Structure 1
């Protein structure tokens, strides 16, 4: 398993939720002629190569974090397993360690959609290093290097990855709050 597997799976969750909201007949895709779930589209949206996306999907299917949809045949995240892995195992497999102060895109408790919902006991906010970022904070390496660009195209993905970082960086109380919010979103509780 690699860290980008989580990014790919959360993007698939985001695409599926967008499709559900709009209805499958009305789901408009920004790329003409490309299916939103195609490897080429995922490459464009995530900044991860087609080869890595293919390998990521195969790893996710073999670990049970993804399953093949019976109707369409396309891979879809196994939300229950994904939620359980992120909450209970991710911080041990892909730990995050705050680094030096830098300019970047807010993550974890500082992300715009989480501000006020989760409170960190830390003095500084956490950011993914990015030249396009407007905030100063302690740098945190994202799960994959292209995350800062990918989240600017998809607010839902941004929220999921910010929650993941809150789990990776937080203390027990913060992890509990972020885990509850993640479960609400992933499992639609």
Structure 2
């Protein structure tokens, strides 16, 4: 898909115990960067400090919004697309409106803790902006259903890691990130 989407900035955050080098994040990064989309891979402060356990949600959201503010101050871009995998997807969803995001890309959105479907996080997906969720059909954290403004694409054979076919994850994300294929 040739084109120049240089007016778009994609911010991606990592999962709770992971880093920005997760296979799905790297695949999406590489695919959209090759199309002219600017990409910011964001490492949360608790990971920078060497801790594995995430900070409370309010701290994660504040750190994310601080990066958004810094990027807006230092760069010129049109559309901001926020996203991430797992915990990073939750942060992107919770902050999308305040960040001024045009779209949200949620990779492996953790609908509930494993084995606890009664503790749904589905309300976090109601961002008020177009949101694309890419989840594996074998995700122990559950698979969200579609709702107004939320399009869900289920990747067969994938678990929460989305690591079996990262190229398929990237392929599913590209049109959404570039704005050439928004969910209906």
TM-score by length of 2: 0.29
Structure (1 or 2) with the larger CA radius of gyration: 1
More strand by share: 2
More helix by share: 1
TM-score by length of 1: 0.28
